[in-house]
Amino acid sequence: MRRLIKNILRFFKFIPFVNNFFFEWKLSRVPFPILGVNFLYQRIFRVNSKVKFPVHFTSRVIGFDNIKLHKDSNTVGSFCLSNNCYIQALQGIHIGSNFLFAPGTTIISVNHGVNNEFKDDQINPVVIGDNVWLGANVTILPQVKLGDNVVVGAGSVVTKSFPSNSIIAGNPAKLIKPL
Give me the catalytic one of 56, 70, 94, 112: 112
Strand partners, 93: 67, 126
DSSP state of 51: -
CATH 3.40.50.300 fits 2-178, yes or no: no
Least confident of 36-40, 63-67, 147-151: 36-40
Quote the mean pLDDT of the chain: 85
What is the value of pTM for the model shown?
0.83
Helices and strands (DSSP H and E) totals, the chain: 4, 14
The pLDDT value recorded for residue 43 is 84
Q: 70 an active-site residue?
A: no
The pLDDT value recorded for residue 116 is 61
N residues, the chain: 179
